[in-house]
Amino acid sequence: AQSVAQPEDQVNVAEGNPLTVKCTYSVSGNPYLFWYVQYPNRGLQFLLKYITGDNLVKGSYGFEAEFNKSQTSFHLKKPSALVSDSALYFCALYSSASKIIFGSGTRLSIRP
């Protein structure tokens, strides 16, 4: 069965420090993976995707994600966190028939 997991409900980082939000997946075949961000009272915004190619994917707002097939992971990263990065982050996995499976979300809190 296909699934995606975000093992941390909350991640706390000081402003200026690097951040990582973790995601692991389970799928037969090649995975198509995504990261979304949700700010309070807003819809989900697409950040980046991995379909094929380079394992390091760059996205919006300075975020990047590293695909690791051997560890079945797709962690979201940013070299230097901003307070404005505080939000809810979702990892997602393309399923069949144009459907996407979402993780349960990780709340990222950046302290000044």
CB 96 within 8 A of CB 28: no
How crowded is the C-beta side of 104, counted as CA atoms within 13 Å? 6
Segment lying near another protein (by CB under 8 A), choices 22-30, 35-43, 61-69, 77-85: 35-43
CB 81 within 8 A of CB 100: no
Decide if residue 46 touches another protein (CB under 8 A): yes
Question: Which positions from 55 to 94 touch another protein by CB under 8 A, shown as an x/- string?
Answer: -----------------------------------x---x
The Cα-based distances of 12 to 6, 30, 60, 89 in angstroms read 15, 32, 21, 13
Segment lying near another protein (by CB under 8 A), choices 21-29, 65-73, 74-82, 101-109: 101-109
Segment lying near another protein (by CB under 8 A), choices 10-18, 19-27, 29-37, 76-84: 29-37
DSSP conformational letter for 99: -
Beta carbon of residue 101, minimum distance to another protein (angstroms, whole number): 8
